[in-house]
Amino acid sequence: MATIKKIIPLNRVEGDLEIHLELDRDHVVKAAKSVGTMYRGIENLMTGRGPLDSLVITPRICGICTTAHLNAAAKALDMAYQVSIPADAHRLRNVTLMVEQMQNDLRHLFLLSMPDVTRPRYADHPLYAEAMARYQPLKGPSTVQTLQETKKLIEIIAILGGQWPHSSFMVPGGVVSVPSGSDIAQCRHILSSFRKWYEKRVLGCTLDRWHAVGTCDQLQDWLAEAVAHRDSELGFFIRFCLSAGLDGLGRGHDRFISAGGPDLPKPGGDIIPLFPAGIFTPAGTAPLDLEKITEDVTCSFFKKTPGHPFDSRTIADPYTDDERKYSWAKAPRYDGQPAETGPLADMLMADKPLFVSWVRSNGASVFIRELARMVRPAMILPAVEQCVAGMAHVDAQFYTDTLKPLSARSYGVVTAPRGILGHWVVIKDGKIANYQVITPTAWNGSPRDRHGIRGPWEEAITGTAVRDPDDPVEVEQVVRSFDPCLVCTVHAIMLS
Amino acid sequence: MSKTLYWIQGGSCGGDTWSLMNADTPDPVELFDAFDIDVLWHHALSVTSLKDLTLLNQRILSGDQPLDILCVEGSVINGPDGTGRFDMLPEGPRKDFIYDLAQRAWVVLAVGTCASFGGIGADTEAMAGGLQFNKWEMGGLLGETFLSSGGYPVINLPGCPCHCDVVVGTLSALATDTVVNLRHHNTPSDWYGVMVHQGCTRNEYHEYRVEEKQFGERGCLFFHMGCHGPLVTGPCNKALWNRRSSKTRVGVPCFGCTRPDFPQQYPFFETRNIEGIPIELPDGVSRAHYMAYKGMAAAAAPKRLMERKTSI
């Protein structure tokens, strides 16, 4: 049977990604390959460097989740230096991490993802005119407002950490900054302004009203309840997705991994994570066991080394004649299986009934992934407010001195905007001997492994029907629903 | 008259784009609108289909579509072994495409340290280089003698990331045919004619040599913590970041990210010194006089600084 082969370089993703497709006569995707096309070789920068240098170099892996990399690097060094950081330092780190998550969620949706519905593919959809009015690139009011509101929000990271992107204010033992009472008050004002916008324009209701939506029926009731609900970004998004079939597009393996967190210090000394870490499948959940994480390079342009990140190495193999290899991304696996990560995984692990019941009945889709991303700030925002308020006391402490052991094996695992992010470091003779990063997009955009099992978005693309092979919007939407970040996927392995 | 703009990423983290999104009055949207800049392509903003992008690229390379301003974000990836195979487009190495685009542009901007000098990846097998420099050496992808059709060498806008005001200001000047004055390493003097140190709220600590030796202690970060503020130029403490603060103000040392050798081979967070005196002294000072001056200044330090009783 005749097939059409297509190579699609994707824009509006962070970094460099091509999707190689084979379509059948009916324009249904028969085979898909996710091809990371760039290798930055960050590893050699770290060769033999001091452990603290990871705090400067690893944030520069990614310009939009730079604080998450900093946090993972700092947590790995906290563990190496055997230090438990003060509660206020914990709060400050959490605030910046969560603020970065929220700006990313909203920028992804309204700058990078929703513009897809303004493309000619949807010109005959009844909501097309409304989509254009909202999301026309550089012009649509939703796009412009998102730019304005998110840049105000991340001023919080500058107040507490100096700048965004690319600061290095987290260090083993805590943070270097000592915010004043007025700094903290400024953060509260910014959050309060952001909450007003998010409730009014994005949700169309209060956080509390949204949190009362627990089932699919209640979602429909919420939509019908008020004009403000239907007209909000969330309301439009739900109306568009359900009428355009985006709830049936892009099902993956339906196996999810979440790093959980952030860990919220509570009065009395308890630390409670906002989201629990773990593995979710429709059959149930399991706790996260980091020992079960490995990386496979059968289809990646790297030489084979041990699979666990403490022991693996990244040795580029650009001239290989092994025809199985096709990507500069490695293939992370959990217990030998691929897993999807991101806000949907967080919602499922948090046992949010709307998401759990939806995925159990219908599987994951473009709709449910992006819905999770759009409402994740509703979960995060109260936790940020709580952490900021928690720092407002006169004897706040942000740093504690540490040991500096000459050798260690440690890790820092956090929830980055796009899902689970892990840094593994081996320190020998006071220098970095091995450093490996596994990013969320490495999980989601992984190539096949030695068993030929597809990565999550390869799986999600397969079977997608494309209307116009010259402009395969549907495939792009499936990939984009994972919020791809290919700049992160380049291997930040640092070898001695 | 309207100017066209094409933005391309090489070996990049995307940080320069997201830094640009920090801009305010004008934000990027207002800037493009007010100065009549026609964005032909930007990877994060354009909705152009693959077919139309391919056509656009062909029209630029053939000269049918005028290209006024080419912005390159990220390094030129030359590895492995000069082949560029570590960064491929479907039609070939990305470095070749950037080279061809630059030949058509009225002016070329290297946005960020990676595009300017190689930056992250310069000392790795990625062989990351800049457009017209490889670290301190002129040359790079386009060569020492390259001038765009507007008569400029590559205008370097270093910083990791580049501060949004620098990009907005440079684009504003170019869009209105205002001459951009360049100084060292072909950087615009408006933003690289000032030391990062200038405007730091810890300047009084520097003045009297009251030093920070432990994180969060409050003091000048230059003498022990590896701060490059007095060594390198950049607008961080003049323009501030996100309109709020800067790394040095909150206690993060300046890592010298605008300098061609960033990221430096020596450790961050510590000052290279000989018997307590930094090897690198503030830009242009006389070593003997500087040491005498700092000795006297330390002896004259006010008590409120010695006790760190300031609200910096």
Q: pLDDT below 70 — which residues of chain A? A: 1-2, 8-15, 43-44, 486-496
- Which residues from B are below 8 Å from A178, CB to CB? 216, 218, 251
Inter-chain residue contact A15 with B15, CB threshold 8 Å = no
Distances (CA, A) of A16 to A417, A473, B11: 18, 17, 9
One domain for residues B199 and B183: no
Nearest Cβ partner of A118 from B47, B120, B161?
B47
Contact present, A4 and A22 (Cβ < 8 Å): yes
Closest CA to A471 of B114, B48, B184, B213: B48
One domain for residues B217 and B168: no
One domain for residues B9 and B127: yes
- Which residues from B are below 8 Å from A63, CB to CB? 12-19, 161
> 3-state DSSP call for residue A274?
strand
Inter-chain residue contact B11 with A40, CB threshold 8 Å = yes
d(CA B310, CA B312): 6
Inter-chain residue contact B250 with A52, CB threshold 8 Å = no
Q: Which pair of tokens denotes residue B190?
A: 């408006």
Give me the half-sphere count of Cα atoms (radius 13 Å) on the Cβ side of residue A91.
27
One domain for residues B234 and B185: no
Residue of B252, B261, B270 best to disrupt the A interface, most CBs of A under 10 A: B252
More confident residue, B275 or B261: B261
Question: What pLDDT is recorded for position A138?
Answer: 80
One domain for residues B174 and B208: no
**Nearest-CA distance A48 → chain B (Å):** 10
Question: What pLDDT is recorded for position B200?
Answer: 98
The region of weakest confidence among A46-50, A417-421, B70-74, B262-266 is: A46-50
CATH number of the domain bearing residue B298: 4.10.480.10
Question: What pLDDT is recorded for position A10?
Answer: 67
Its domain, for residue A253, covers: 4-495
Inter-chain residue contact A41 with B15, CB threshold 8 Å = no
**Nearest-CA distance B25 → chain A (Å):** 10
One domain for residues B58 and B174: yes
- Which residues from B are below 8 Å from A112, CB to CB? 44
One domain for residues B148 and B106: yes
Q: Which among B173, B190, B207 is the end of a domain?
A: B190
Its domain, for residue B310, covers: 194-312
End-to-end alpha carbon distance in chain A: 51
Question: What pLDDT is recorded for position A363?
Answer: 97
Inter-chain residue contact A316 with B86, CB threshold 8 Å = yes
d(CA A437, CA A69): 9
Contact present, A378 and A78 (Cβ < 8 Å): no
Strands (E), chain B: 3-9, 37-41, 67-73, 76-77, 88-89, 92-93, 105-111, 128-129, 133-134, 137-138, 155-157, 273-274, 277-278
Instruction: Please state the pTM of the whole predicted model.
Output: 0.97
Inter-chain residue contact B18 with A64, CB threshold 8 Å = yes
One domain for residues B23 and B39: yes
Inter-chain residue contact B124 with A115, CB threshold 8 Å = no
CATH number of the domain bearing residue A265: 1.10.645.10
Nearest Cβ partner of A53 from B27, B218, B268?
B268
One domain for residues B170 and B79: yes
**For the residues of A47-71, what is the DSSP string, one character each?**
TT--GGGHHHHGGGG-SSSHHHHHH
Question: What pLDDT is recorded for position B253?
Answer: 98
What does the pLDDT look like over B233-244, one tens digit per residue?
Answer: 999 999 999 999
> 3-state DSSP call for residue B98?
helix
What does the pLDDT look like over B154-165, one tens digit per residue?
Answer: 999 999 999 999
Cβ atoms < 10 Å from Cβ of B274: 7
- Which residues from B are below 8 Å from A174, CB to CB? 215-216
Inter-chain residue contact B244 with A155, CB threshold 8 Å = yes
**Nearest-CA distance B169 → chain A (Å):** 18
How many beta-carbon pairs under 8 angstroms link A with B?
Answer: 231
Contact present, A157 and A164 (Cβ < 8 Å): yes
Q: List the single residue in B with minimal CA-CA distance to A149.
A: B22
CB contacts under 8 A, A 346-375 vs B, are none
Nearest Cβ partner of B32 from A138, A160, A316?
A138
One domain for residues B263 and B120: no
d(CA A417, CA A421): 9
What does the pLDDT look like over A32-50, one tens digit per residue?
Answer: 999 888 888 776 677 799 9
Question: What pLDDT is recorded for position A44?
Answer: 64
What does the pLDDT look like over B181-212, one tens digit per residue?
Answer: 999 999 999 999 999 999 999 999 999 999 99
CB of B96 within 8 Å of a chain A CB? The answer is no
Inter-chain residue contact A63 with B22, CB threshold 8 Å = no
Domain count, chain B: 2
Inter-chain residue contact B263 with A66, CB threshold 8 Å = no
Domain count, chain A: 1
Q: Which among B190, B225, B255 is the end of a domain?
A: B190
Question: What pLDDT is recorded for position A12?
Answer: 61
Question: What pLDDT is recorded for position A38?
Answer: 84
Share of chain B above pLDDT 70, in %: 100
Residues belonging to chain A: 496
- Which residues from B are below 8 Å from A42, CB to CB? 120-121, 124
Q: Which among B190, B215, B236 is the end of a domain?
A: B190
Mean pLDDT score, B205-224: 95
Q: List the single residue in B with minimal CA-CA distance to A7.
A: B90
Task: For CA atoms B307, B308, B310, B311, give the dihedral sign.
Answer: negative
d(CA A177, CA B215): 8
